[in-house]
Chain A
Amino acid sequence: MLAFFFLIDDSYMLRSPRLFPGWALLFCIASLVQNVTAPAAELRIGLSGEVTSLDPHFLAAQPNLTVARHVFESLTDVDPQTRLIPGLAERWRALDATNWEFNLRRGVKFHDGTELTAEDAAFSLQRPLSIKGSPGGFASFVRAVESTTVVDNYTLRVRTKYPYGALPEELNSILIVSKRHALNAGPEDFDSGRALIGTGPYKFLRYRRGDRLELVRHDDWWGQRPAWDKVTLRIVTSDPSRTAALLSGELDVIEHVPSADIKNIIKNKTLRVMQTTSWRTILLHVDQYRNQPPGVTDAGGKPLARNPFMDPRVRLAISKAINRAAITERVLEGLAVPAANIVSPGVFGHNAALNAEPYDPDGAKRLLAEAGYPKGFNVTLAGPNNRYINDEQILQTVAQMLTRIGIVTRVEAAPMSAYLGRVRKEETSFALLGWGSFAADLALRSLVATPNADKGYGAWNWGRYSNAKVDTLMEQALANVDRAKREALAREAGTLAMRELAFIPLHHQIVSWGMRTGLSYTPRTDEFTFAHHFTPR
């Protein structure tokens, strides 16, 4: 029977001049159904990251939150420039140093028609801590919360364990779920859509894990009515494929346009690119705590008598040796701006008076000689190769620039997972990291403050830079419930840390969206892609 089948097929082909009858047939059929376009009020977005759970309190990762923020909202919101704006709370104020009052918007409806009350908000603040098997990330946002009190349906009081001015920022990360639906619900109930009841602009329609989430407009939303009846969020992690899907018209919008494709999209008359400076600062941590840090040797490969990074002149020499303009223009094809700050321009606590260190190889060499290293030394620069825009090329370029002034640099790039493993084992002394934050004092607490597990400081301060003055200023900033005073203190702390080169700032990434020319978006510094912020033009 099998042989018979082949026989027929084979003899047919022997006689036929066409070699690929199957292909010809396929083309004919395919051409009949081309140009299947979506209805005008649907928006199809290509997301770059894998969504692991629809539970908004399961894992604090950007792809998960992108999806969750279409369905859920938080008490405080941030605008595209990362400044705080009212969310589900219409206004809030600090009653005193440790007590806050949040006044909820009235008449906010969940997707099931019930009204949002302070009970839901209080419940949502507790829930992240109670999910079993969660890889977490949310506990830190509520670590300062001592207790919550529901005053009435529209008033929630939050007491903090210590004076804490950053509470409104932290609560932006806690999405408000419906207590009724989420009370006994686990992450699987959110994935099935059963508990996926929020107050946000879009309602759950369908979810295929690893593929797409389909949403429909929540017509009772309190905010400005979004232009799209239906939204499809598709997960296309491969960069060139995401671009192709936009070019073919299958997607209306893609996030994180690969740097190599930006020119092609701009050239295409039916498409456009919208960009802004991201909150992500790319920086180099330098070991400032070990006498003989790993990978740092003299020219002959022998350990040095002391750690050269501890000398501020050496850190300044490194900073001067790096040609940031060349990196941002060539390596990143314009997708970055040189950095001098811990946070991006426009972010709370940014100091516009700080300028990126100018490229000065001769000055760098002089500083090295002054510091006692006229012949330089050898270092190993470590970093990821799959996390930030062109990260491995950045490492290679920095290495060449440093080698030019005598600091012979070897690059060790690895996938983020393996790289972080090495960092945690303290095997690196000169290491690249990217950081996004919407307040300088919050960034300082993680990146620059003297590591202190009890206080939760310096968890990502890999170089263990330590300066009591910076620590104090940062603490004062975080404790200040007066935003103007807090920002001034945060700016002062950040400026001091940068003057001392607690780490070497490289650049702030630029984030890009590609879309049909008929669309408009206010590019967000926090890199989030929200369907309801896209408008036809």
Chain B
Amino acid sequence: MFVLRRIGQSAVALFVMSVLVFAGVYAIGNPVDILISPQADQAEIAQTIARLGLDRPLWEQYWVFLSSALSGDLGKSFAASAPAIDLILERMPATLELAFAAMVIAIVLGIPLGLLAGLKPDSWVGRSIMAGSILGFSLPTFWVGLMLIMVFSVQLGWLPTTGRGPTVDVLGIPVSFLSWDGLRHLILPAANLALFKLSLLIRLTRAGTREAMLQDYVRFARAKGVAEPNVVGVHVLRNILIPIITVAGLELGSVIAFAIVTETIFAWPGMGKLLIESINVLDRPVIVAYLLVTVFMFIMINLLVDVLYTALDPRVRLKSAR
């Protein structure tokens, strides 16, 4: 029941989004104007517009899109000679790899650091963690990205500036983190993408920890003589994980969807870079397909997060409230 309703809501969201994007891109201009060679004359421009079906009224173009979308065909890219969905799926592993690497960095560093800052809020350690997280929040991604490149690639020469390393196929999916060279390429963009999420998780964990430390069950555990690591690890951490998982889940979605800036700066051949280039030339099939895929992913991640709750907190049940 719960899942069914979710799917219904998702379908409506996808439909509304496709209408909005379709109309929006149409309002901006005609892709042929920007794609076609400047030497083209009026006749060739008109022929090309007709060939791509852009001469028809908007509702008709949308209808053509919708009817083929329902049969699983999201249209062919105007600029590249391939189906839009293929272009996106081809680039998705790169983006997912980057996003997961970023989330791993954010979680592996963020929760312990947040816990530390929460346990010792007034120590210099706690203070410097918080100061660092403020920087992570407020510095713009593109600037941090360029600085990372300047410091670690240009000045120190430790890591490559841009690009994705060689890939290995795992279950048919090309991944780059298994080879050493691939990992080196991954570090900087993943760190750049992780920075904001890292700061977020630090703050969230810290706030949760501080609150939990004052709770009766913590005092009771201590009074009972439970060792400090157990108090923190079992009683505190377990109780603050729910909001952290929620945010981490949602943020994973946004990391995937908005890796655009990082991908552009690091010339990372992912979906975000594809989207930017498609917007530049008004490649509508790709833009629409990208957003549909992204919305779909958001929905799936939310669903997953909901399921995770039940595993973490037995009080949560997946059914509608009465």
The answer to whether A210 has its CB under 8 Å from any CB of chain B is yes
Q: Once bound together, how far apart are the Cα atoms of A209 and B241, in whole Å?
A: 40
Query: Shortest beta-carbon distance, B156 to chain A, in Å?
Result: 8
In the complex, the answer to whether A250 meets B162 with C-beta atoms within 8 Å is yes
A363 contacts chain B at the CB level, 8 A cutoff: no
Please, how many angstroms separate the alpha-carbon atoms of A360 and B279 in the complex?
A: 42
Docked-complex contact A22 and B79, CB < 8 angstroms: no
Q: Determine if A188 is an interface residue (Cβ-Cβ < 8 Å).
A: yes
A6 interface neighbour in B112, B264, B277, Cβ under 8 Å: B112
- Cβ contact of B29, chosen from A133, A421, A455, A457, cutoff 8 A: A421
Are B153's CB and A420's CB within 8 A? Answer: no
Binds B, one of A52-60, A69-77, A375-383, A506-514: A52-60
Residues B33-59 near A (CB distance < 8 A) = 33-48, 51-52
Q: Which residue of B lies closest to A189 (CB)?
A: B81
Q: A6-B233, A134-B81 are in contact. Are A248 and B157 (CB under 8 A)?
A: yes
Kindly specify which of B11-19, B65-73, B267-275, B295-303 makes contact with the partner chain: B267-275
A3 touching B81 in the complex, CB below 8 Å, given contacts A210-B274, A459-B41:
no
Minimum CB–CB distance for B193 against chain A, Å: 15
Q: What are the interface flags for B167-189 relative to A under an 8 Å C-beta threshold, 1 for contact and 0 otherwise?
A: 00000000000001100100100
Contact A240 B31 (CB under 8 A): no
Contact at B41–A61, with CB atoms within 8 Å?
no
B37 and A418 within 8 A (CB): no
Residues of B within 8 A of A135 (CB): 31-32, 35-36, 48, 52, 78-79
Check B163–A137 contact: CB distance below 8 A: no
The answer to whether B81 touches A186, judged by C-beta atoms less than 8 angstroms apart, is yes
Residue among B28, B32, B87, B128 having the largest count of chain A Cβ atoms under 10 Å: B28
Q: Looking at B30, B112, B156, which has the most chain A CB atoms within 10 Å of its CB?
A: B112
Chain A neighbourhood of B78, CB < 8 A: 133, 135
Question: Which listed residue (B29, B90, B116) contacts A424, Cβ 8 A?
Answer: B29
Q: Which residues of A contact B159 (CB under 8 A)?
A: 30
Query: Count of A residues near B, CB < 8 Å?
Result: 88
Q: Contact at B37–A140, with CB atoms within 8 Å?
A: yes
- Chain A residues closer than 8 Å to B6, beta-carbon distance: none
Query: Does B28 contact A421, Cβ atoms closer than 8 Å?
Result: yes
Q: In the complex, which residues 8-30 of chain A have their Cβ closer than 8 Å to any Cβ of chain B?
A: 9-11, 13-14, 19, 22, 26-27, 30
Q: Are B29 and A244 in contact (CB under 8 A)?
A: no
Interface bracket on B: 35 or more
A424 near B162: Cβ-Cβ < 8 Å: no
Query: How many pairs of A and B residues are in contact by the CB < 8 Å rule?
Result: 240
Q: Mark A28-55, 1 if CB is under 8 A from B, else 0.
A: 0011011110000000000000101101
For B305, the chain A residues whose CB sits under 8 A away are: none
Check A244/B52 contact, CB under 8 A, given A13-B116, A140-B37, A418-B28.
Answer: no
A-contact 0/1 string along B94-117, CB 8 Å cutoff? 000000000000001101110110
Would A133 and B51 count as touching, CB distance under 8 A? yes
> Quick check: is A136 within 8 A (CB to CB) of the other chain?
yes
Nearest Cβ distance between residue A528 and chain B, in whole angstroms? 15
Q: Which residues of A contact B279 (CB under 8 A)?
A: 417
A492-527 contacts to B, CB under 8 A, are: none
Contact (Cβ within 8 A) A3 B115:
no
Q: Does B220 contact A (CB under 8 A)?
A: no
Chain B residues, CB < 8 A from A152 = none
On whether the beta carbons of B162 and A59 are closer than 8 Å, the reply is no
**A11: which B residues are within 8 A, CB to CB?**
229
Residues of B within 8 A of A14 (CB): 116
Whether, in the assembled complex, A374 has its beta carbon less than 8 Å from a beta carbon of chain B, the answer is no
B134 interfacial contact with A, CB 8 Å: no
A191 touches B41 (CB 8 A): no
Q: Which residues 106-156 of B sit at the A interface, judged by CB distance below 8 A? A: 108-109, 111-113, 115-116, 125, 128-129, 146, 149-150, 152-154, 156
Evaluate contact between A9 and B80: CB separation under 8 angstroms.
Answer: no
| Residues on A with beta carbons closer than 8 Å to the beta carbon of B38 | 435-436, 446, 460
Given the known A-B contacts A212-B163, A244-B153, are A53 and B81 also in contact in the complex, defined by CB atoms under 8 Å? Answer: yes
Asked whether B43 lies within 8 Å of A453 as measured between CB atoms, the reply is yes
Chain B residues contacting A249 (CB-CB under 8 Å) are: 157
Q: Closest approach, in angstroms, between the C-beta of A140 and any C-beta of chain B?
A: 5
**B contact residues around A188 at 8 Å (CB):** 81-82
**B153 & A6 in contact (Cβ 8 Å cutoff):** no
Minimum CB–CB distance for B31 against chain A, Å: 7
Chain A residues with CB below 8 A from B43, complex form: 143, 453-454, 456
Query: In this assembly, does B232 line the interface, its C-beta being within 8 Å of a C-beta of chain A?
Result: yes
Q: Does B208 have its Cβ within 8 Å of any Cβ on chain A?
A: no
Contact B109 A6 (CB under 8 A): no
The 8 A CB mask of A372-403 against B (1 = contact, 0 = none) is 00000000000000100000000000000000
Given contacts A52-B79, A141-B39, contact A416 B34 (CB under 8 A): yes
- Please list the 4 inter-chain residue pairs (A to B) with the smallest Cβ-Cβ separation, ordered nearest first: A421-B29, A456-B41, A187-B81, A137-B37
8 A-B interface contacts by CB (under 8 A): A34-B157, A136-B36, A137-B36, A234-B162, A234-B163, A417-B34, A459-B40, A460-B38
